[in-house]
Structure formats: structure tokens, C-alpha cells
Amino acid sequence: MSHSHAHRAAEPASAKTDPAQKATLFGTLLQLWPYIWPGDRLDLKMRVVWAVLLLIAAKIATMTVPFTFKWAVDGLTGEGSAPVDPNNWMLWLIASPLIMTVSYGATRVLMALLTQWRDGMFAKVAMHAVRKLAHMTFIHMHELSLRFHLMRKTGGLTRVLERGRNGIETIVRMVLLQLVPTIIELALLMGVLLWQFDWRYVAVTVITVTFYMLYTYVATEWRIGIRRRMNESDSEANTKAIDSLLNYETVKYFGAEQREAARYDRSMERYEQASVMTYTSLAVLNAGQAAIFTIGLTVTMVMCAIGVRNGTNTVGDFVMINAMMIQLYQPLNFMGMVYREIKQGVVDIEKMFDVLLKNPEVKDLPGAKPLAVQNGTVTFEDVRFAYDPNRPILKGLSFEVPAGKTVAIVGPSGAGKSTISRLLFRLYDVSGGRILIDGQDIRQVTQTSLRAAIGMVPQDTVLFNDTIRYNIRYGRWDASDAEVEEAARTAQIDAFIKASPKGYETEVGERGLKLSGGEKQRVAIARTILKAPPILVLDEATSALDSHTEREIQDALERVSRNRTSLVIAHRLSTIVGADEILVVDQGRIVERGRHGQLLAANGLYASMWNRQREAQEAREKLALIGDDEETPKRAPAVDDDDDLTAPAAVD
């Protein structure tokens, strides 16, 4: 089993639930619980236990605060207790208003210290849960198929991960550090009210809490839709910004700065409107909550004031009921805030769970074994494939790349050439037929071992925004510096690297934009050399380069592919004239096959493609000669070097 799949198998079973539960608090907590109470981390479990004990101690301290306030007031007014003999100094000290006042302050300090201690104790548990879930989601994103990533925009996907991570932290902290303590405190306060006063106070408080929570629920549900619209507009704006900046050069080529700015501003306008509505609705929610609570507070204080006037309550009781109700307002206010934050957190991680619930299109079969490469023979047997069922791409391809030989695939745009390399890498699974390496169906071996056996030099090399050394070492992470530098020498990029001020520590920029096309290709070749795979795939590796650079890169590629099974997907036919076999693919089928000379003699599609490319090269050479004769340098017209063979490309 691959490392990534072994990791997924080790995750708790509850990490995935029914999609219907993903947007509910219960479903979210069910998914989070294995990370809050991890079975393999005794230290984190002990932190949870200590946090609970500190919570109980803090709430006991909280309950004593109104009593010390009452006793201090009664002592100052001389109510609520019999006179204390001044000669009994210890009893007098305990009943002293001064001591009660100091006790009031000390109890509040103790309450705050215990609460903060509890929060600090639980912080590691909460952040560990955040880290584990974010890590799991990141791994899962890499397990999802190429089809999924081609349909999603990178900027929007990174925002899903970022907001989901923040949402997880919000839910973990709010539920366990706010909601649970609030419920405990509310229950204790109800008990004190019933014991110290009577049932009427409890009834008023229950009615107040009921209306408060009902209003909070209704108002928050209304705000959820507003919050979701704000998140969507935020993702849209962020995606457009990243897309525009990644295509910085294209924007400059077409002078589209104003158009891009206007496009971004339209998204930000929608975000602005949704944000204003979010803050306005929050003001409505807070105002309603304050009004409901104030009514309940006023009713209880009026009842106690009547009791003071009738002599059934003391002034200390009046102060105590005020302190208790104000103290009740804090957890009530927290419950309103907690409910809002939890609901918003659930919205924020809803899309993250959507990603987690998507099953990888390409999976290792249960009990899949590593690929055992003996010779490296690659065989396609009646391979069929379609990205869309209504539009088949490959329609029964059958061919073999013998061990140590080179087979080239050419054909017009849309023929399915690049699809062949994606199927060989198992970025997709075939719709029909099978692909074999040394007689082993690649669907029955682990993906990790399959991809370790194949090296790829793509047409468009994208590098990590790190150093040249980092990008070359990506081919084999445990390689030494000496091996990295030897690979660079073989790829003929060592001289360029050493001429750079920072050498191998030179930063290549985002997507490698600080390097030229030829330099990036050499880094890709060095990376593949370092990987040293038995099978090599060259996917139009020189089509984007000028003729001079192409010849240098071609020399390096020939050295790399020597004695390796090589599959070459080519646009410039001059690069594959020495191939052991050339396959001409058109509309998903092999229409011609043979060596270069045989295909030219057949005078079919391959010969037609070859002649068009030769004519284009001769035209460029004539234009260059005319320019020299007139002593006026002229550039040949740019040639479209994409996969469309109707626009001929240069040959040697």
C-alpha cells in the first residue's frame, strides 16, 4: 500500500460521515472528536482531563463571587445577620465588610486565573486537532484525481483549506472552551437562584433565556445565508487575483491591466455588499439580544426591590441578584456569540468536508503490490479512454515499447497523444483495455511504485518557488549534493548554475519564471536523471524551445534515454527520426507505424506532416538570407509550436 493510502487507512473511521451531516454541528463534532480525544496521545488526553478539572474549579469560584458581594453589602448596611461580638476577633474578621470586599476581588482574580489556565492547557489539544485535520485534507487533495484539480481553481482551493482550518479552530475552541462551560455555569446559577430566592426568579430567568436563545437562533440562521454569500464572493475575488498574477506576462502583453482591475473590482464590490450586510445583521442580532436580556434583568430586580421594601430581602440580596443576572448575561452573551461562531465555522469548513468526502478516482486496489520492474517493457492492449463518455479520446490503442527501445508518438492536435502519458502515470484509469509494465497491469500495483519507475520531462516545466538545488533534488529526495551536481552536469546546466551569483542556491521564482525555457527544461532533465527511472516519458519536451536550444536539450535527452525504455510524444518530427518505432495517432487510433524512412516512403499522414515542417524551415531560412543580403536583420514570422500541426514548426 502507498504511503498516502496507508495514512488514510490509519485515520479514524469517523473522519468521514454521511454528506447530509457535513453542515450540521453534530456531524462536525462527530468528525472532530477523534482529534480532540486522540487514541494514540495520552498527553493530549491528560490535558483534556486537566482542562475539565480547571473548568469545574473556575465555575465554583464564579459562584462565590455574588455571595461575597452580598455579604460585603449586608455587612456595610448591618442587614442580614445578627451582631457579632467585637471580642471574638476571628468571627468579627470573617464577617467584616472589608474582608468580604477583599474576598470579592480575590475570588474574581482566582476565577480569571483558573479560566486562563484552562484555556492555555487546552490550546495544544485544539491546535493539534487543527493541524491533523488540515494535514489530512492536504494529503486528500493530492490523492484526488487530475480531473478534480483541472475542474477547480487553485486560488479557490487554497481558500477552502485556509478557511476550513480556521473554522476547525473556531469550532474546537468555542464548543469546549465556551459552550460547555456556559452550560455548566447556567445550570449552577439556576440552582443558586432557586436556593437563595424562589421559583419565580428561576421562572423569569428561564423565560429570558428561552426567548434570548430563540431570537439568537432565528437571527443567526438569517445571517448564515449572508455569510455564505460573503465567503463565495471572497473566494471569487481571491481566485481572480491569483489567476491574474500568475498570468502577469500575458496581462502585460495585451495591455489588460485595467480590464483585470475592473474584473477584480466587480468581485470585490459583491464582497463589499455581502460584508456590509454581514455587519448590519450582526448589529440587529446584538441589539435584540441586549433588549431581551435587559427586560429579564429589570423584572428580577423589580421583584427583589419589592422584597427589600417588604422586609423579605436585604439590600445585599438586591445587589446579589443584580450581580447574578449580570454574571448570567456573560455566558448568555457567549452562547449567542458561540452559536454564531459555530454556525459560521460550520459554513467555513463545509467546503473542506466536501473535498474530504470526494473519493479519489484513482485508488490502489486492496492488497496491491509494488511494481516489479525487470526489463521495463511497456504494453498498451486495446486501450480506450474518454474524459467525457460522449467524446471518446482513445479508441483501442495497441502497441509495445520494448525494453531499452524508443517509441515516438506523433499526430495532430486532439489525437490523444498527451492522454497516453497521463494514462501511463495513472493520473486517470483506462475506460477499457489495459496497460502493462513487464506483464503487470498498472491498475493492480501501488501508485507510488508505478510512478517511482517512470520519469517525466514535460513540455511545460513548472518549478517550485525555491532554489535550483531544491528543484533538482525533487527527483530523489535522499540524494547527496554531489549527486545533484552530477545530474546537473549530465543535463548540461552545471555551467549556468555556477555562473549565477548564488550557484545552486539561486531562487527560481514562482513556477520557475526567473529561468528561461531552456534552463527550466534542463532542470527538469536533471531532476529526471537524478530519479534514474527505468522508463522515460518525454511529452513534447522541446516543442517550446528555439532550434539552437532544442538541439542542446535533445543531446541531453538522448543521453538520459540511452538504455532506458522511452516513450516520446513529439511535435517536432526532427527530434524523433532516430526512434526505433514511430506511431502516428489520429482521432484516437494508430493510423501509421514504422521507422522514419518507412513512413516517408509510405507517403501518408506522417510524410505530409514532415513535408509541411520542412517547407516551414526552408521559408525561414530564405527569409533569413534575404535579411542578410539587405543588411537589415529580419525576424522570421513566429510559428505556433503547440500541438496543432497545421502550424508547421522548425526542424533541424
pLDDT of residue 82: 45
CATH class of 460-532: alpha beta
Q: Using pLDDT thresholds of 50, 70 and 90, give the confidence band for residue 637.
A: very low
Q: What is the mean pLDDT of the chain?
A: 78
Cα distance between residue 66 and residue 197, in whole Å: 13
What angle (nearest 5°) sits at the alpha carbon of residue 305, between those of residues 302 and 311? 145
Cα distance between residue 328 and residue 336, in whole Å: 12
Q: Using pLDDT thresholds of 50, 70 and 90, give the confidence band for residue 440.
A: very high
pLDDT beyond 80 at 146: no
pLDDT beyond 60 at 91: no
8 A C-beta contact, residue 492 and residue 522: yes
Q: pLDDT digit string (tens) for 5-59?
A: 434 333 433 344 343 344 577 777 777 777 777 777 888 888 888 888 888 888 8
8 A C-beta contact, residue 137 and residue 355: yes
Please state, for a pLDDT cut of 70, what percent of the chain lies above it: 83
pLDDT of residue 642: 38
pLDDT beyond 80 at 641: no
The C-alpha cell that represents 48 in the structure block: 483534556
pLDDT of residue 434: 92
> Which range, of 282-286, 484-488, 630-634, 647-651, averages the lowest pLDDT?
647-651
Q: pLDDT digit string (tens) for 204-252?
A: 988 998 899 898 888 877 877 787 788 888 888 888 888 888 888 888 8
Cα distance between residue 257 and residue 241, in whole Å: 12
pLDDT of residue 651: 33
Question: What is the average pLDDT across 623-642?
Answer: 47
Q: Which residue has the higher pLDDT, 36 or 581?
A: 581
Q: pLDDT digit string (tens) for 483-519?
A: 888 888 887 788 888 888 888 888 877 656 677 777 7
> Which range, of 110-114, 264-268, 340-344, 363-367, averages the lowest pLDDT?
340-344
Q: What is the dihedral of CA 235, 237, 240, 244, to 10 degrees?
A: -130
pLDDT of residue 543: 56
Q: Helix and strand tally (H, E) in the chain?
A: 21, 10
Cα distance between residue 137 and residue 456, in whole Å: 27
pLDDT of residue 582: 92
- Please, what's the b/e burial string for 455-472 (b: 16 or more CB within 10 A of its CB; e: otherwise)? bbbbbebebeeebbbbbb
pLDDT beyond 80 at 85: no
pLDDT of residue 548: 64
Question: What is the average pLDDT across 556-577?
Answer: 80
| Residue 384: strand, helix, or coil | strand
19-23, 63-67, 347-351, 532-536 — most confident range: 532-536
pLDDT beyond 60 at 478: yes
Cα distance between residue 316 and residue 69, in whole Å: 7
Q: Using pLDDT thresholds of 50, 70 and 90, give the confidence band for residue 355.
A: confident
Q: Which residue has the higher pLDDT, 91 or 193?
A: 193
Whether 371-453+535-652 shares its CATH topology with 460-532 is answered: yes
Q: What is the DSSP string of 33-83?
A: HHHHS-TT-HHHHHHHHHHHHHHHHHHHHHHHHHHHHHHHHHHHHT-SSPP
CATH number of 3-357: 1.20.1560.10
Q: Using pLDDT thresholds of 50, 70 and 90, give the confidence band for residue 625.
A: low
pLDDT beyond 80 at 151: no
The C-alpha cell that represents 525 in the structure block: 532533465
pLDDT of residue 515: 76
pLDDT of residue 633: 43
Domain boundaries, the chain: 3-357, 371-453+535-652, 460-532
8 A C-beta contact, residue 620 and residue 650: yes
pLDDT of residue 570: 82
pLDDT beyond 90 at 379: yes
pLDDT of residue 652: 31
Q: Which residue has the higher pLDDT, 550 or 42?
A: 42
CATH class of 371-453+535-652: alpha beta
The C-alpha cell that represents 141 in the structure block: 487533495
User: Residue 316: exposed, middle, or buried by beta-carbon count in 10 A (0-12, 13-18, 19+)?
Assistant: buried
pLDDT of residue 186: 81
Going from the C-alpha of 404 to that of each of 407, 438, 536, 563, the distances in angstroms are 10, 12, 10, 5
Count of other CB atoms within 10 angstroms of residue 183: 12
Structure letter (DSSP) for residue 413: T
pLDDT beyond 70 at 648: no
pLDDT of residue 399: 92
8 A C-beta contact, residue 579 and residue 536: no
Q: pLDDT digit string (tens) for 450-464?
A: 988 988 887 777 788
pLDDT of residue 153: 57
SS3 letters for 419-435? HHHHHHCCCCCCCEEEE
- Please report which helix (H) or strand (E) contains residue 560, including its range: helix 547-561
8 A C-beta contact, residue 554 and residue 522: no
pLDDT beyond 50 at 407: yes
8 A C-beta contact, residue 394 and residue 416: yes
